[in-house]
Structure 1
Amino acid sequence: MTQGRFVRNLIISLLLIPSMTFADNIDNSRKAEILSNLKQEISEQYIIEDSIPGILASLDSLSSTDFLVKLPDGNKFAEVINEKLKQFDRHFSLSWSNPNEISTKPRTESYWDRLDRKNSGFSKVEILEGNIGYIEFWGFDRVNVKSEQRVANVMSFISETDAIIFDLRNNGGGSPRMIQLLSGYLFNERTQLSSIYWRNSDETEEFWTSTDIRGKKRPTIPIYVLTSNDTFSAAEAFTYDLKSLKRATIVGETTGGGANPMRFVDFGDGFIAGIPYGRAINPITKTNWEWVGVTPDIETSREQALETAYISALNTLLNVSRNDSQKIEIKNKLKDLTAH
């Protein structure tokens, strides 16, 4: 075969190779190293120390050569480990992205970037008939000048309502600082909401309602929080705090059950693990909602949660309102809602 024909055939052969890049395949020694590093990080950082032996034993069961051979690519390897870890704590994670892949896709937007771009998660704010404020938001943004102003705008819009419904049915959580800021509008006095014990520093950090409030406080009006099984993490903390302090009525489904905040650890080659290293502690219950979730005061489906809370709020206001026009408005709305 001539050299030119050999080169041409070689190029054709390379073009016929599947699109998977060589970096997609992680050799067994590297996978074993990642498992070993992951177990070490869990041993040193994971917050529920009594559970560590069981987690390590579970990961050991995945470390055999025969098993690793069945997971040749990084993505599948991470998926299997991720699924195993979440059996112990829903905040655990292991993800993989190909560091050598030249992608034509746009860079994946982070949760925080998305919150910043989309009004800090506030997707709907309105005043329902009967003078009830309704606030729907899907995340707890980091607290900064921009997000503080957005919260102030939201709370200003519903500042003259007689009750508030917070809709957290699609809220995946976020920053505990936002919990402090929002809760600051709902209490007259500075109030402790929770604490978090950090294992790495062996310190306990207390979280209190914010005193830096821009606008009117609403310390006495009825508060309702809508929940679903997708309500998670900081959204659960907000719900649990208000329920424990008897400041809100929770309506909907039991929440997801993720109470332990996590930190990310980069293992290189595109592997990043999320390891829970803190434990939320409520000052009243002395515990949290890990795995069990936050149980609602009024249990109903996520689809019926808003209507159920709305009817409850209307009935409450009907009993206390001194405004005849408002009472007529409430009665008419209750008639509409209960007619079907």
Structure 2
Amino acid sequence: MKQLYTALILACSILGCQAQKPQHEALVTELAQDLKQNYVFEKEANAMHDMLLANLEEGKYNNLEKEDLAEALHEDLRAVANDKHLRIRFGNRRSAPGKFAGREIKSLPNGVGEVEILEGNIGYLELTGFSNPNGSYSNMLAEKMKKLATTKAVIFDLRNNGGGSPGAVRLLSSYLFPAGEAVHLNSLYYRNRDVKTDYYTFKEIEGPRIDQLPVYILTSDFTFSAGEEFCYNLLNLKRATLVGETTGGGAHPVNSYQLPEGVVAIIPEGRAINPITQTNWEGVGVEPHYQVDEAVALDKALSLIGEEL
């Protein structure tokens, strides 16, 4: 019997019967640790960490090609933390939600279009993103304000705005309030650093302010992140009228983590805290004053302006 037992052990060793080391161990372990240390909510961070390590041990990610692995990790994490900013992808592959895959978005310098003067002397400016507010961006925005300052009302079109820099939101918002005032727009809290940053309007800026003009913002369910912050801030400060669709619902600033095997994790590290509501638009979006299909939002805004003026 002893000889038979020894023979069985030897056979298993030769045939690979012993438990195999889980595949993608370095990748999944590093991702789990990054989430535990940096994800915005500690409870969900710990839950995702434990879930990933359990799945790894069970061999759930064995035999998956890199793109399929990234998708599986993405879906597993979203099941724990339904955070629209949380994403896992392979390399430079960026997957948009199906309903937005065919959406055409203009390529605008720094995400800012040309000022148009519509009938009735109504100013119109499309913003597809909020770029880093460096010197060239600031100068460009000041020039746009010079043109808008001569109008009777202003429409900001954010229907194709996917987000960007909170600093740019701060800069643009500063034009909508009087000089010399520091209006508290928003705060961002980062759990991994235990730091909260408050964003106030600038007391002094280049170019004319439009603080006396009625402001309308066009929205869609594509409007996201920093685009939503602009809407949410001004809605709660009662400084703008929102027209269109409820926005996408992403309120967490992120950081990018390069993982083994060419996989990239986009991890939300902070959360917005509005000074008025003490919360944000995460998961629910920003609901406009006038709910209409995005396709007719401009016409609706023009109609409302006509009634007001």
Scaled to the shorter chain, the TM-score interval is: 0.7 to 0.9
Matched residue SS, 1:161:
coil
Q: Partner of 1:157 in structure 2?
A: 147
CA contact (8 A) 1:229 1:253 kept: yes
TM-score by length of 2: 0.82
Question: Does residue 234 of structure 1 match 2:226?
Answer: yes
CA contact (8 A) 1:190 1:211 kept: yes
Tell me the CA shift for residue 97 of structure 1: 2.2
Alignment of 1:135-150 (within 5 A): 135-150=125-140
Deviations, residues 74-116 of structure 1 (Å, cap 9, x unaligned):
1121122223334521111112229xxxxxxxxxxxxxxxxxx
C-alpha RMSD over aligned residues? 2.0
How has the CA–CA distance of structure 1 residues 299 and 60 changed in structure 2, closer, same or farther, with 3 Å as cutoff?
farther
Q: Distance in 2 between matches of 1:28 and 1:145?
A: 53
Deviations, residues 109-160 of structure 1 (Å, cap 9, x unaligned):
xxxxxxxx84211134201111111111111000111111111121112111
Q: Which runs of 5 or more residues in structure 2 are unaligned?
A: 1-19, 93-106
Question: How many residues matched?
Answer: 272
Q: Partner of 2:191 in structure 1?
A: 199
Q: 2:274 aligns with which of 270, 273, 282?
A: 282
CA contact (8 A) 2:37 2:45 kept: no
TM-score by length of 1: 0.75
Q: Partner of 2:87 in structure 1?
A: 93
Tell me the CA shift for residue 33 of structure 1: 2.4
Q: Distance in 2 between matches of 1:67 and 1:275?
A: 22
Q: Distance in 2 between matches of 1:200 and 1:57?
A: 18
Alignment of 1:11-26 (within 5 A): none
CA contact (8 A) 1:195 1:206 kept: yes
Question: Which letter does structure 1 place at the counterpart of 2:88?
Answer: L
How has the CA–CA distance of structure 1 residues 130 and 84 changed in structure 2, closer, same or farther, with 3 Å as cutoff?
farther
Question: Does residue 307 of structure 1 match 2:286?
Answer: no
Q: Distance in 2 between matches of 1:38 and 1:270?
A: 12
Q: Distance in 2 between matches of 1:289 and 1:28?
A: 43
Tell me the CA shift for residue 65 of structure 1: 5.2
Q: Distance in 2 between matches of 1:220 and 1:86?
A: 44
Q: Distance in 2 between matches of 1:299 and 1:57?
A: 41
Q: 1:31 aligns with which of 11, 15, 24?
A: 24
Alignment of 1:1-340 (within 5 A): 29=22, 31-56=24-49, 58-60=51-53, 62-63=55-56, 66-71=59-64, 73-87=65-79, 88-97=82-91, 118-188=108-178, 189-317=181-309
How many percent identity over aligned positions? 41
How has the CA–CA distance of structure 1 residues 37 and 247 changed in structure 2, closer, same or farther, with 3 Å as cutoff?
same
Q: Distance in 2 between matches of 1:28 and 1:239?
A: 50
CA contact (8 A) 1:93 1:274 kept: yes
Q: Partner of 1:10 in structure 2?
A: none
Matched residue SS, 2:24:
helix
Q: Which runs of 5 or more residues in structure 1 are unaligned?
A: 1-26, 99-116, 318-340
Matched residue SS, 2:294:
coil
Q: Distance in 1 between matches of 2:75 and 2:302?
A: 38
Deviations, residues 146-182 of structure 1 (Å, cap 9, x unaligned):
1111111211121111111111111000001101110
Tell me the CA shift for residue 269 of structure 1: 3.0
